[in-house]
Structures are given as C-alpha cells and as structure tokens.
Amino acid sequence: MAISFSPPDVREEDIDAVVEVLRSGWITTGPVGRQFEQDLAQYSGVNEVVLLNSCTAALELALRVLQVGPGDEVIVPAYTYSASAAVIAHVGADIVMVDVAPEEYVPAIDEIVAAVTPRTKAIIVVDIGGVPFDAASLRERLEGTGVDADGNPLLDALDRPVVITDGAHSLGAIRDGVRAGGLGDFTAFSFHAVKNLTTAEGGALTWRSDLPVDQSALTATVRRLSLHGQTKDALSKMKAGAWEYDILEPGFKANMPDVLAALGVSQLRRYPEAVARRQAIIRRYTELLGDAFAVLVHEGKGFASSGHLQLVDLGEWRPRREEIIAGLAERGVAANVHYKPLPLLTAYRDLGFEAADYPHALRQFKGVLSLPLHTLLTDDDVDTVATALLSVVRALPSVR
C-alpha cells in the first residue's frame, strides 16, 4: 500500500464550489475572493487580508510596501525554503542570513537581534512546520533599535525593523492567544497544493490589526500593487461605462482568481477540524516514535501549531538518512526533507553564502526527515508509517 506525502484533500463540496464559479459568468478576482478574505480575517483574528497568487508574492509585496530596495538589508534564517530569501533578492536588497539555534529549526531571538545593523529594514521569520515563531517577543526585543525609515511612514512609526512572518505553514497556529496572522507585523500565508489548506496555488498577505497605519489604505495599496498598479480592479473596470483607469506605478500581477478562491472558501469551512485531525496524527506519531527519535514538538506552553510538517530528527541514525528514506519508499511510504539550508543551494552559494558559516542549520538538515502528514491518512496509515520507520532503522547495521 502506498502512502503519499501530502496529497490535496479535495472533497465534492470543494468541486461544487469551483463549478459554481465556473458557471457564474465571473471567474477571475471578484466577490468569492472577497468572501475568502473576510473568512480568513475572521478565522485568523485580523482586520485585513489581501489574497494573492502565492506566499512568495505576499512576502515580496510586504517588502515593496515597505519600499525595501538596494542598499537595505533583510534578515532571514538559513533554514527555510528559497522563497523566504528570494524575495529579498527580487527587490534588490541584501540578504543577511542567520543560523538556527543549536538543535532547533529556527534562529534564537538574540542571534537575530545581533544581526541588525542601521541598514536592516525587515526581518523574515519562518513558522517551520506550522510551529508559530515567537514574533511578538522579537518585536519587543527590537524596540529602540531604530531604523532609517527613508520616508516610509510605517517604518517611521515603528522605529525598528519590521517583522515579516513567513507563515506558509502556519494558518491556524496560535501563540499566547494570538493566531498566526497577528504575530508578525506582516504575515504571508501559502495555499499551495501541499499546504494544510489549498487553492492549488495561492497565498495571502495580512498584518497586525494594531499596526500603526491606515489599515484600509494599506489594503488598497497591496491590492493595487498586486494588479499592475491599476486604480480599478477588473470587476469594476468591466462594469458598463466604467472602463477608465490609471496606472499609479508599474505594478505586479499576483491576484487570485475566484475559481481558486472558491476552493479556499470551501476548505476553510472544515479547516478547524483539519487542524485538529493533524494534531491527533502528530500525537500518535509522537507516542509511537518519541522514544526512538526527536519528533518536532507541535504543542507546548502557550502555543499550538497548525500541524503542517512532521519533522523527525533521526538521532543515532542521522548518518543513514538516505538509506532510511529509500527503505521507507520500498515499504510504500513517501518521506521528504525540509529543508536543504539555503547556503547549500547554488543560487545562494553564488551570492557568497557558505554552508560552513551555518553549522547548526547544516546539522539539523543532515539528520531530519518529514513523515506523511495529511487529512487523508487513516489511523492505520499512521501506525503503518511509524512501524515502517522503526523496522527500517532496526534493519540497519548499528552505527554506534
């Protein structure tokens, strides 16, 4: 029996919702997207959400709203997916990479603060596996560091670098009573096909409701930047007699069509149960595997994750990771690896980053794998995966 890593959980009601939009006469950005934005805002406890076509676009638009560009620095962890750092290169700013804390998947707040310079405009933190980074404590620690606002009113008001949470994994996570979306100053979500909630491709940008800006003006700016810099969206422009428009800046094209938003509206309706099911699967994995391996902790004092990735540190079997992945594959179980640290990738090596400067990220990467985690897994599947992992490692010659 084959157990996939993260197939999309698309149900009849999702298909019906998409078909309804296809039949409606309006298929790109419009009322269904607005509905999804409102539903997401309510679920995440924030006021404003702008739907986009990816998390990458959301991260990039956050930097663009802050007018981050050449000469500026943005801090990012070495242990993440390329998108978290690529957006810094897209806007022409300098990438400043920080290592993770020893035996952790995220950097220590002290290390991040130590990397801040007068040129730091923003810090991107990552909610790895759905575990919410403590962005509120980071924001607090940054108070008083100051920032060269370069005339940007938001940076001027904050007087510190802006904290942008890469929440690609963390829709629904919670820390100290605050849902993902309200932890970083800005948060970017992903609805890519392998994510907890999917629109096939998609993302959203949101920000803290008490960010010192005109909230609805910021929404209008992000919307405009995501649609060519155009003063009118396609739906209003199509109304009879309403063709006239202006382009205020040479903007992006990153809006989400209603066909995809329909999937989101439908999936969000059952999302709380999906997160609960993921947490139940994680508890079972922890029960079965926690004695043999260091299983990523998804619930703890003051936080609960969205249960996106089941990372497992293979402990004494770390040097045999590739054999273990192959052994799982032979038993029909698809495992994965999150993440190859950025300095191991050609693009970042070419930018001058060296793996040796990020020893903790390298150590984590070498011994980690991710197990299947999704809402199509049965309890038996979970037991099968755990048993397969234990039997694969037991069949290996001792490495002690």
Nearest distance, CB of residue 243 and ligand PLP, angstroms: 32
Say if strands 203-207 and 49-52 run parallel, antiparallel, or are unpaired. antiparallel
Nearest distance, CB of residue 52 and ligand PLP, angstroms: 9
Between 131 and 393, CB nearer to ligand PLP = 131
Task: State the DSSP code for 359.
Answer: H
Verify binding: residue 190, ligand PLP, rule CB under 6 A. yes
Q: Strands across the sheet with 178-179, in order?
A: 178-179, 174-175, 303-304, 299-300
Q: Cβ of 276: how many Cβ atoms within 10 Å? A: 13
Q: Which amino acid is at 297?
A: V
Between 59 and 155, CB nearer to ligand PLP = 59
Nearest distance, CB of residue 170 and ligand PLP, angstroms: 9
Verify binding: residue 61, ligand PLP, rule CB under 6 A. no
Half-sphere exposure of 338 toward its Cβ, with a 13 Å CA cutoff?
23
Verify binding: residue 76, ligand PLP, rule CB under 6 A. no
Q: In the structure encoding, which two tokens stand for residue 349, read together?
A: 């090596």
Q: In the structure encoding, which two tokens stand for residue 226, read together?
A: 């995501």
Q: Cβ of 326: how many Cβ atoms within 10 Å? A: 12
Nearest distance, CB of residue 240 and ligand PLP, angstroms: 36
Alpha-helical segments (H) within the chain: 12-24, 31-44, 55-65, 82-90, 109-114, 135-142, 153-158, 215-225, 234-238, 258-269, 271-289, 321-330, 346-350, 359-366, 379-395
Between 254 and 386, CB nearer to ligand PLP = 254
Verify binding: residue 168, ligand PLP, rule CB under 6 A. yes
Verify binding: residue 56, ligand PLP, rule CB under 6 A. yes
Query: Which of residues 55, 63, 155, 355 is near ligand PLP by CB under 6 A?
Result: 55
Say if strands 310-313 and 178-179 run parallel, antiparallel, or are unpaired. unpaired
Verify binding: residue 203, ligand PLP, rule CB under 6 A. yes
How far apart (Å, rounded) are the C-alpha atoms in residues 305 and 179?
Answer: 10
Nearest distance, CB of residue 82 and ligand PLP, angstroms: 8
Verify binding: residue 79, ligand PLP, rule CB under 6 A. no
Residue burial 104-127, b: 16+ Cβ < 10 Å; e: rest: ebbbebebbbebbeeebbbbbbbb
Count of residues engaged in binding ligand PLP, rule: CB under 6 A: 13
Structure-token match 């234990």, residue found: 390
Verify binding: residue 80, ligand PLP, rule CB under 6 A. yes
Torsion region of 339: left, alpha or beta (phi above 0 gives left; psi -120 to 50 gives alpha): beta
Residue 299, phi then psi, degrees to nearest 5: -135, 140
Cα distance between the two ends of the chain: 32
Footprint of ligand PLP on residues 116-145 (CB under 6 A)?
A: 126
Verify binding: residue 81, ligand PLP, rule CB under 6 A. yes
Verify binding: residue 37, ligand PLP, rule CB under 6 A. no
Short-list 227, 200, 178, CA closest to 61 = 227
Q: Which amino acid is at 31?
A: P
Measured CA to CA in angstroms, residue 296 lies from 154, 185, 371 at distances of: 36, 26, 11
Strand partners, 76: 97
Verify binding: residue 179, ligand PLP, rule CB under 6 A. no
Verify binding: residue 166, ligand PLP, rule CB under 6 A. yes
Q: In the structure encoding, which two tokens stand for residue 269, read together?
A: 């309706």
How far apart (Å, rounded) are the C-alpha atoms in residues 89 and 95?
Answer: 7
Verify binding: residue 105, ligand PLP, rule CB under 6 A. no
Between 73 and 166, CB nearer to ligand PLP = 166
Between 158 and 309, CB nearer to ligand PLP = 309
Between 4 and 209, CB nearer to ligand PLP = 4
Verify binding: residue 83, ligand PLP, rule CB under 6 A. yes
Query: Which of residues 29, 44, 84, 375 is near ligand PLP by CB under 6 A?
Result: 84
Q: Pick the piece of the chain touching ligand PLP (CB under 6 A) from 52-60, 152-160, 296-304, 392-400.
A: 52-60
Verify binding: residue 375, ligand PLP, rule CB under 6 A. no
How far apart (Å, rounded) are the C-alpha atoms in residues 77 and 157?
Answer: 26
Q: Pick the piece of the chain touching ligand PLP (CB under 6 A) from 30-38, 76-84, 106-114, 290-298.
A: 76-84
Q: Pick the piece of the chain touching ligand PLP (CB under 6 A) from 80-88, 176-184, 324-332, 349-357.
A: 80-88
Nearest distance, CB of residue 178 and ligand PLP, angstroms: 20
Binding site for ligand PLP (CB under 6 A): 54-56, 80-81, 83-84, 126, 166, 168, 190, 192, 203
